[in-house]
């Protein structure tokens, strides 16, 4: 295989690492930018999210809750009822944070609504989400959903019970930092008190049915790109023991390749020009990228033919990945897309941006800044839960220090990006790529040096641009 294969694999791994860092850094950035809290407890919130998912995925392994278990991964009617109640309470609790009973009645919607309709809607949503969790027991998706709901309700309590009290006393930023460190130790050792220090892991059915065959989405998959005089072949293999089993091969003639690339360029250019001349949620660069990717996927699927591995090639390389790693990237991108829509296309998002720019002015203009801050903490908690559960699954184990080890890369991503949401996303991917590509590019370095390499890159960038990549 070509020497570039190692670099491509390092880049792909860096994108996976950057995706998880970004999910954590988004909440960290929002909380610092709007609530003015340098939250050193954020890494431990990822750990809390990972452990919370165990109540659904492996209830018998959870102390105190294990009395309701009827097996390693099963609970009786009482246990299921408690999980349903906790989920429903989590949904209603998140809404309650937005304005108390008035929010439950629909007061946070921004439009006039009957209290009966608002209450019925929120209760119905709580029941539906609780039903999804109980119906999905003990699956990984149900565990992930449960963790997201619980942290969405619990994390804002740190704002209302702790940080707001200190903010009202107008304490210095350094004091807030100390308070957040105290919260970090409280959360971490509370988890350890309940769960102990043993390493834990999720139980996940990793085999899915696809195209009439069983595919394990955690097993390594090799994607060979083979370029010959007749065209391009994409050959996908799976490792099983010491053998590589071919899953499928896609072949494209040169006319098909030129056609797909040509249409991709036309669609991307048209999308860029259209979004550049009109105001909208999707910017021109993003529109061009989405349009191009859509054409590549659809065109590649429609024009793919049965491919055979050529005996002679002009160029070939190999990527090593798994559906799990690709899924993490897609989940992160989907959540980032949702956040982008929330910030750019909703009244709540505009209020968040106004509060970030000038909180005093936002209050004068009638924006409920307290509600905005609670939304920020809810989002931070939910994104932390997703990052923690994905991280625990990716590493195949859950430890007390799971999120703490990711705290410094998350802060590096936020600072590198210029302490803004979009900057944090970009900075996180730069940090993730630096961690993985740096180890590949510097011979003799072990994985132990991944974080130090990322911080070398951070220092170099800040020496050139102290305000960060996206800073003014």
Q: What is the pLDDT of residues 417-447, one digit of tens each?
A: 887 888 899 999 999 998 888 888 777 777 7
Q: Are strands 221-228 and 305-306 parallel, antiparallel or unpaired?
A: unpaired
Tell me the C-alpha distance between 147 and 85, whole Å. 14
**Average pLDDT of the residues in 63-80:** 90
Any idea which architecture 4-58+138-205+326-464 has in CATH?
Orthogonal Bundle (1.10)
Mean model confidence pLDDT for the chain: 86
Task: Please say if the pLDDT value at position 279 is more than 70.
Answer: no
Task: Please say if the pLDDT value at position 281 is more than 60.
Answer: no
More confident residue, 286 or 114: 114
Q: What is the pLDDT of residue 241?
A: 64
The sign of the dihedral angle between the CA atoms of 398, 9, 26, 290 is negative
The number of residues in the chain equals 472
Model-level pTM? 0.89
**Average pLDDT of the residues in 320-334:** 89
The 10s digit of each residue's pLDDT in 122-162 is 999 999 999 999 999 999 999 999 999 999 999 999 999 99
Task: Please say if the pLDDT value at position 70 is more than 80.
Answer: yes
- Token pair of 273, please? 């020009």
**Of 59-63, 276-280, 347-351, 368-372, which range is least confident?**
276-280
Task: Please say if the pLDDT value at position 272 is more than 70.
Answer: yes
Q: What is the pLDDT of residue 355?
A: 87
Partners of residue 209 on adjacent β-strands? 214
Q: What is the pLDDT of residue 167?
A: 87
**Of 4-8, 152-156, 186-190, 216-220, which range is least confident?**
216-220
Task: Please say if the pLDDT value at position 216 is more than 90.
Answer: no
Cβ–Cβ < 8 Å for 452, 438? no
CA angle 114-116-120, nearest 5°?
125
- Token pair of 245, please? 């089993």
Cβ–Cβ < 8 Å for 405, 419? no
Q: Which of 87, 99, 91, 76 is closest to 142 using CA atoms? A: 87
Helices (H), 137-283: 140-157, 164-168, 173-195, 254-277
The sign of the dihedral angle between the CA atoms of 90, 333, 183, 398 is positive
Cβ–Cβ < 8 Å for 381, 21? no
Q: What is the pLDDT of residue 457?
A: 81
**Average pLDDT of the residues in 229-241:** 81
Q: What is the pLDDT of residue 29?
A: 92
Domain with CATH 1.10.3470 in the chain: 4-58+138-205+326-464
What are the distances in angstroms from CA 230 to CA 74, 141, 312, 332?
Answer: 55, 43, 10, 37
**Average pLDDT of the residues in 71-98:** 94
Cβ–Cβ < 8 Å for 141, 386? no
My answer on whether omega of the bond before 199 falls inside 30° of 0, hence cis, is no
Q: What is the pLDDT of residue 238?
A: 79
Q: What is the pLDDT of residue 209?
A: 60
Task: Please say if the pLDDT value at position 403 is more than 60.
Answer: yes
Task: Please say if the pLDDT value at position 212 is more than 70.
Answer: no
The 10s digit of each residue's pLDDT in 2-42 is 556 778 888 999 999 999 999 999 999 999 988 888 899 99
Task: Please say if the pLDDT value at position 471 is more than 70.
Answer: no
Cβ–Cβ < 8 Å for 91, 130? yes
Task: Please say if the pLDDT value at position 176 is more than 80.
Answer: yes
Task: Please say if the pLDDT value at position 222 is more than 80.
Answer: yes
More confident residue, 281 or 367: 367
DSSP H or E stretch at residue 352: helix 347-357
Tell me the C-alpha distance between 188 and 400, whole Å. 7
Task: Please say if the pLDDT value at position 217 is more than 80.
Answer: no
Q: Which of 294, 270, 274, 293 is closest to 283 using CA atoms? A: 274
Q: What is the pLDDT of residue 315?
A: 86
**Average pLDDT of the residues in 88-95:** 96
**Average pLDDT of the residues in 214-220:** 70
In the chain, the percentage of residues whose pLDDT exceeds 90 is: 41
Q: What is the pLDDT of residue 345?
A: 84
**Of 33-37, 79-83, 93-97, 236-240, which range is least confident?**
236-240
Q: What confidence category does residue 336 fall into, taking pLDDT thresholds of 50, 70 and 90?
A: very high
Q: What confidence category does residue 280 fall into, taking pLDDT thresholds of 50, 70 and 90?
A: low
Q: What is the pLDDT of residue 242?
A: 67
The single residue listed with the structure tokens 């699954």 is 393
Which residues have C-beta within 8 Å of that of residue 288, sequence separation ≥ 6?
268, 269, 271, 272, 275
Which residues have C-beta within 8 Å of that of residue 254, sequence separation ≥ 6?
230, 231, 232
Q: Which SS3 state, helix, strand or coil, does residue 136 take? A: helix
My answer on whether omega of the bond before 138 falls inside 30° of 0, hence cis, is yes
Cβ–Cβ < 8 Å for 391, 403? yes
């Amino acid at each position: 295989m070509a020497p570039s294969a190692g670099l491509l694999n390092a880049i792909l791994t860096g994108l996976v690492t950057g995706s998880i860092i970004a999910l954590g850094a988004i909440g960290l950035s929002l909380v610092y930018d709007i609530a003015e809290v340098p939250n050193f407890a954020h890494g431990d919130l990822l750990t809390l999210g990972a452990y919370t998912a165990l109540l659904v995925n492996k209830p018998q392994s959870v102390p105190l809750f294990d009395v309701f278990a009827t097996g390693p991964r099963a609970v009786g009617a009482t246990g299921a009822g408690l999980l349903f109640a906790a989920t429903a309470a989590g949904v209603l609790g998140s809404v309650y944070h937005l304005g108390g009973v008035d929010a439950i009645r629909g007061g946070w919607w921004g439009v006039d609504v009957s209290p009966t309709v608002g209450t019925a809607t929120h209760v119905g949503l709580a029941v539906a989400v609780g039903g999804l969790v109980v119906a999905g027991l003990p699956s990984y998706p149900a565990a992930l959903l449960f963790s997201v709901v619980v942290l969405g309700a619990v994390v804002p309590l740190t704002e209302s019970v702790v940080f707001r009290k200190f903010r009202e006393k107008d304490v210095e930023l350094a004091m807030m930092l100390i308070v957040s460190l105290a919260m970090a130790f409280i959360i971490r050792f509370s988890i350890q008190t309940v769960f102990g220090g043993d390493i834990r892991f999720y139980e996940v059915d990793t085999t899915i049915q696809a195209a009439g065959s069983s595919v394990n989405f955690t097993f390594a998959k090799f994607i060979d790109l083979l370029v010959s005089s007749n065209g391009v072949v994409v050959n996908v293999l799976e490792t099983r023991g010491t053998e590589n089993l071919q899953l499928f091969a896609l072949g494209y003639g040169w006319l098909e390749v030129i056609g797909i690339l040509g249409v991709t360029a036309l669609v991307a250019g048209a999308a860029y020009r259209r979004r550049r001349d009109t105001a909208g949620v999707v910017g021109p660069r993003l529109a061009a990228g989405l349009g191009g990717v859509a054409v590549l996927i659809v065109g590649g699927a429609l024009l793919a033919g049965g491919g055979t591995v050529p005996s002679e090639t002009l160029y070939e390389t190999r990527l090593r990945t798994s559906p799990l790693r690709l899924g993490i990237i897609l989940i992160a991108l989907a959540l980032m897309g949702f956040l982008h829509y929330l910030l750019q296309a909703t009244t709540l998002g505009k209020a968040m941006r106004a509060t970030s720019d000038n909180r005093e002015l936002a209050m004068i203009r009638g924006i409920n800044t307290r509600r905005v801050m609670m939304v920020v903490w809810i989002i931070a908690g939910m994104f932390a839960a997703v990052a923690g559960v994905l991280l625990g699954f990716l590493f195949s184990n859950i430890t007390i220090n799971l999120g703490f080890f990711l705290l410094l890369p998350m802060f590096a991503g936020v600072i590198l990006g210029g302490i803004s949401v979009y900057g944090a996303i970009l900075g996180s991917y730069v940090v993730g790529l630096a961690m993985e590509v740096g180890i590949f590019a510097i011979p003799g370095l072990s994985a132990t040096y991944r974080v130090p390499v990322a911080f070398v890159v951070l220092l170099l960038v800040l020496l050139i641009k102290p305000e960060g990549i996206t800073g003014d």
